[in-house]
Amino acid sequence: MRIPKLLQAVLVLAGVYFGFIVVFDVILDAVIPSSLLVMYMFFVTAGVFMVFTYDEEGTRELVAPIKALVEDPSKRVWRNIVFVIVPLAAGAGTYVQMQPSFEAPLELRTIHPAPPSTAKIYGKRVNLLKLENPFRKLEKEDPEQFRELVEEGAAVYIENCQYCHGDKLDGNGPYAAGLNPTPLNFQDVGTIAQLQESYLFWRIATGGPGLPKEAAPWISSMPVWQNFLKEDEIWKTILFLYDYTGHSPRSWGHE
Amino acid sequence: MMAGAWLKKILPPVLAAGLLALSAGSVQSAPGDEEKGEAIYAKRCLQCHGEDGDGLGPAAERLNPPPRDFTFGLYKFKTTPFDEDLPNDGDLFRMVSDGMPGTAMPGWSDLLSEQDMWDVIAYIKIFAELEGAPETQLDTGAQVATSAESIAAGKTLFHADDRCSECHGAEGKGDAVKKLKNDNGERTWPRNLTKPWTFRASNDPKDIFTRISVGIPTTQMPSFADPKSKKKLSIEERWHVANYVASLAKTEKVVRPANTVIQAARVEGEIPASPNDPAWDKAPPSTFFMVPQIVGEERFFMAANDTISVRALFNGEKVAIHLEWDDRTKSIPGDDKAKSIADEELAEDAIAVQFPAVIPTGMEKPYFLMGDAAKPVNLWRWSSGTTEEPESIAILDAKGIDGQVTRDEQGGLAAKGSYKDGTWRVVMTRPLVTEAEDQDLQFEEGRFIPIAFFAWDGSNSEAGTRHAMTTWYWLLLKPSASARPIMAAIAVTLLLGAILIWWGRGARAQRREG
């Protein structure tokens, strides 16, 4: 049996709607904001409408059931039912929409704001475009010393960072649940694997208060590590972050 | 969006059941490889447990509880009888695989394979030369299913002869005044049994039964199966106590991460000024995790307070914040009993509520840790008092952790605190608007107002920058219901109905003509 066009269109829209919910809310566990969902569904509806009304015959087929419902004398009962239910549903929808919301205001977060070209770190103006990890070259030149530096970085990490970012570097340390935003997960391919070492150095050294203007909503709990750690301790910790997770820092050379 | 809720409920169990079915055939019992275990240990475990397995890794001093010292071969959460030296291999596996809530020990099952974990266990055993299998196993008898009768029986046994309440307190909050130490001389605290999420090995009655029967080796938690104990319990009695302890979970005060808004309801008439007024029970609590203050100088890693429950009410004139948090110790400087249980320095217990000095218009809030130079905050700080001074409330204007000024005038801010059975309750009340407009937050209905909390346990050497904290949450004074939604709904219904009728008539008329 052939599915009527109108039903097809409704099924496609319903499928997309629940698809969004399944993918975001259930699988990714990242609840999709309702305003965003409304916007997506608007575009999807417009797209579906364009496809289904591509030619005149399609358009006619699509609107035929609606036309029949409104005009056909034999469909009087159905018409009366629909004409009562639709306005009532719209009224109920309006009522629900206009209820004051007690949900927290949405705070869109820029996780990796673009770095400034220079930043003041340890009292010096540093060019972040040229800044490199002074120990990175030892990875090839002197693997033994490099290993020692990684281990020193590990000690700095365990003493200072694991409370939030976790023993496993997965952003799930013992204090993580008490912080908003939650600490970053370095195991994830979307964090340090996407960044240069100079970027990490800047973010670690200047912490939450060092976030640039566009890094809304500026509420990171990341401490300002230049107040607590020495410069070389930060660089060693960065070596450890990449070594432990198996990620490689991004560099200009490879791009 | 809500349509996702049922899917969310149903899908994970379905997926989990599927995974379980897949993995059921692969339970591993092969012995671990010590050499492979050593390599894994060096990468994953050494930083906390130390190269020699003595628990003296670099972070040892900042971890509470400290990392396990493997050289004695003693394990706190074992399932073999109290007089059996060896733990079961499964006990070690469970700690490695699942980790221990409330400690720095994570569960490793997502990063390490089952074989990896067995290898590491084989290596860990070398530190204490643990060999062979335990000779005896714990007799668990027949589990007594939980029931009102069993819980009542357990409650009686819990309190009889001060059996459990001696340390765990009358309501199980671990607040009995005793100074406990582990075998290593480190301070330990009896578990707050109302917070099941802090149980290292779950609050399933089976696990609780095991703890009661075995005790917690290396700590002062004894075995109640030991025939020599004056407080010995039979197997059946231990199941009753386990069921009672499991029933103590304060589920209404569990942290729900999605709940970031404290909703203050409007009340007619007076706001209850006493923290124990039953009217407060009607306001739903929002509970937040607190973490040690590890962000500003001087950092602090050992905070005693870990959650705070907040309620709020307001009327036409005033707003009141009700704060409730479990604290094992009532810290009153000058009091001998308080001093006997406190760490070296005894200070007052204190709590502070933080608001921005003005409600932010955009997204940008003051720095969560006591504000910043551009955006100051108000701190309402209550202190529990000493034997000489009564409890007190102060307003601080803060521009950072090291930039606080205590005001001389309280501007109508008042507070009342009460301590009972391991719980502090404090109510702070302030007029919605004050005269010091340029200094004080002016409350407005329907606005989302950032709010944060700081807590000090004076018996845990907490004072100054040594405290527990939260990041920003929200306070909302719920606006009173208005007639607008219902009016709009009626208007939309009528309008749409009219349009449809007009359309239908027009179309049918056209059809007849055509």
Q: What mean pLDDT is predicted for residues B417-425?
A: 95
* pLDDT digits 0-9 by tens, B496-506: 999 988 988 88
Q: Is residue A106 part of a domain?
A: no
B363-366: long-range contacts at Cβ-Cβ below 8 A with a sequence spacing of 24 or more?
B363/A105, B363/A107, B363/A216, B363/A217, B363/A218, B364/A216, B364/A217, B364/A218, B365/A217, B365/A218, B365/A219, B365/B450, B365/B472, B366/B450
Of A22, A158, A209, the CB nearest to B47: A158
pLDDT of residue B184: 84
Q: How far is B307 from chain A (nearest CA, A)?
A: 9
Confidence of residue B258 (pLDDT cuts 50, 70, 90): confident
Shared domain check, A86 and A10: yes
Which is more confident, B77 or B342? B77
* pLDDT digits 0-9 by tens, B350-406: 999 999 999 998 888 999 999 999 999 999 999 999 999 999 999 999 999 988 999
- Residues near B369 by beta carbon (within 8 Å), at least 6 away in sequence: A221, B293, B295, B296, B400, B401, B469
Q: What mean pLDDT is predicted for residues B293-303?
A: 92
Confidence of residue A37 (pLDDT cuts 50, 70, 90): confident
Most confident of A76-90, A203-217, B452-466: B452-466
Q: Do B263 and A94 touch (CB under 8 A)?
A: no
* pLDDT digits 0-9 by tens, B205-244: 999 999 999 999 999 999 999 999 999 999 999 999 999 9
**Hey, what CATH topology would domain B148-249 get?**
Cytochrome Bc1 Complex; Chain D, domain 2 (1.10.760)
Confidence of residue B1 (pLDDT cuts 50, 70, 90): very low
pLDDT of residue B22: 43
Q: Is residue A104 part of a domain?
A: no
pLDDT of residue B295: 93
Architecture per CATH, domain B252-477, reads as: Sandwich (2.60)
Whether pLDDT at A45 is above 80: yes
User: For residue B487, how many C-alpha atoms fall within 13 Å in the half-sphere facing its CB?
Assistant: 4
pLDDT of residue B23: 42
Confidence of residue B30 (pLDDT cuts 50, 70, 90): low
Q: Do A105 and B448 touch (CB under 8 A)?
A: yes
Q: Do A177 and B48 touch (CB under 8 A)?
A: no
Q: Is residue A113 part of a domain?
A: no
Shared domain check, A142 and A66: no
> In sequence order, what are the beta bridge partners of B395?
B380
| Alpha-carbon gap, residue A187 to A218, rounded angstroms | 23
Q: How far is A87 from chain B (nearest CA, A)?
A: 5
pLDDT of residue B25: 37
CB burial class (10 A; 0-12, 13-18, 19+) of residue B358?
Answer: middle
| Alpha-carbon gap, residue B381 to B198, rounded angstroms | 28
Q: What percent of chain A has pLDDT over 70?
A: 97
Q: How far is B106 from chain A (nearest CA, A)?
A: 7
| Alpha-carbon gap, residue B83 to B134, rounded angstroms | 11
Query: Can you read off the two tokens belonging to residue A37?
Result: 């969902």
Q: Do A102 and B263 touch (CB under 8 A)?
A: yes
Shared domain check, A126 and A80: no
Confidence of residue B91 (pLDDT cuts 50, 70, 90): very high
Whether pLDDT at A152 is above 50: yes
* Mean pLDDT computed over every residue of chain A: 89
Q: How far is B149 from chain A (nearest CA, A)?
A: 37
Q: Using a CB–CB cutoff of 8 Å, tell me whether A38 touches chain B.
A: no
B29-127: what CATH class? mainly alpha
Q: Is residue A187 part of a domain?
A: yes
CATH topology identical between B29-127 and B148-249: yes
Shared domain check, A245 and A123: yes
* pLDDT digits 0-9 by tens, B103-131: 999 999 999 999 999 999 999 999 998 88
Q: How far is A246 from chain B (nearest CA, A)?
A: 12
pLDDT of residue B383: 97
Q: What is the pTM of this model?
A: 0.84
Q: Using a CB–CB cutoff of 8 Å, tell me whether A210 touches chain B.
A: no
Q: Using a CB–CB cutoff of 8 Å, tell me whether A223 touches chain B.
A: yes
Rounded to two decimals, the ipTM of the complex is: 0.85
* pLDDT digits 0-9 by tens, B453-489: 999 999 999 999 999 999 999 999 998 877 888 999 9
> Among the listed ranges B8-17, B165-174, B501-510, which one has the minimum average pLDDT value?
B8-17
End-to-end CA distance of chain A: 55
Question: Domain range for residue A23?
Answer: 5-98
Q: Using a CB–CB cutoff of 8 Å, tell me whether A73 touches chain B.
A: yes
Shared domain check, A204 and A129: yes
Torsion of CA A61, A62, A66, A71, to 10 degrees: -30
Q: Do A174 and B471 touch (CB under 8 A)?
A: no
* Mean pLDDT computed over every residue of chain B: 90
Torsion of CA B342, B348, B353, B354, to 10 degrees: -100
Of A18, A208, A218, the CB nearest to B364: A218
Concatenated DSSP letters for A135-183?
TTTHHHH-HHHHHHHHHHHHHHHHHHTHHHH-TTSSS--TTGGG-SSPP
Which is more confident, B288 or A1? B288
Shared domain check, A60 and A93: yes
Chain position carrying tokens 């301590």: B419
Q: Is residue A105 part of a domain?
A: no
Name residues 315-354 of chain B within 8 A of A (Cβ): none
Q: Which residues of A touch B370 (CB under 8 A)?
A: none
Q: Which residues of A touch B296 (CB under 8 A)?
A: 223
Residue of B nearest to A94 (CA): B489
Q: Where are the domains of chain B?
A: 29-127, 148-249, 252-477
| Alpha-carbon gap, residue B482 to A99, rounded angstroms | 9
| Alpha-carbon gap, residue B15 to B8, rounded angstroms | 11
CA A240 and chain centroid, separation: 26
Shared domain check, A200 and A90: no
Shared domain check, A135 and A239: yes
Shared domain check, A125 and A177: yes
- Interface A-B, measured as beta-carbon pairs within 8 A, has a size of 172
Confidence of residue A253 (pLDDT cuts 50, 70, 90): low
- The CATH number that applies at residue A152 is 1.10.760.10
> In sequence order, what are the beta bridge partners of B468?
B292, B455
Look at chain A and report how many structural domains it folds into.
2
Out of A68, A98, A128, pick the residue that ends a domain.
Answer: A98
Shared domain check, A124 and A60: no
Residue A93, CA distances (Å) to A43, A83, A89 in order: 21, 16, 6
pLDDT of residue B507: 83
Q: Do B7 and A26 touch (CB under 8 A)?
A: yes
> Among the listed ranges A41-45, A83-87, B33-37, B343-347, which one has the minimum average pLDDT value?
B343-347
Q: Is the dihedral of CA B182, B298, B460, B322 positive or negative?
A: negative
Whether pLDDT at A131 is above 50: yes
Shared domain check, A131 and A197: yes
Shared domain check, A170 and A93: no
Torsion of CA A132, A136, A138, A140, to 10 degrees: -120
DSSP classification of residue A121: E
Whether pLDDT at A154 is above 60: yes
> In sequence order, what are the beta bridge partners of B424?
B325, B419
Q: What mean pLDDT is predicted for residues B135-152?
A: 95
Q: Is residue A198 part of a domain?
A: yes
Residue B158, CA distances (Å) to A147, B208, B237 in order: 54, 13, 10
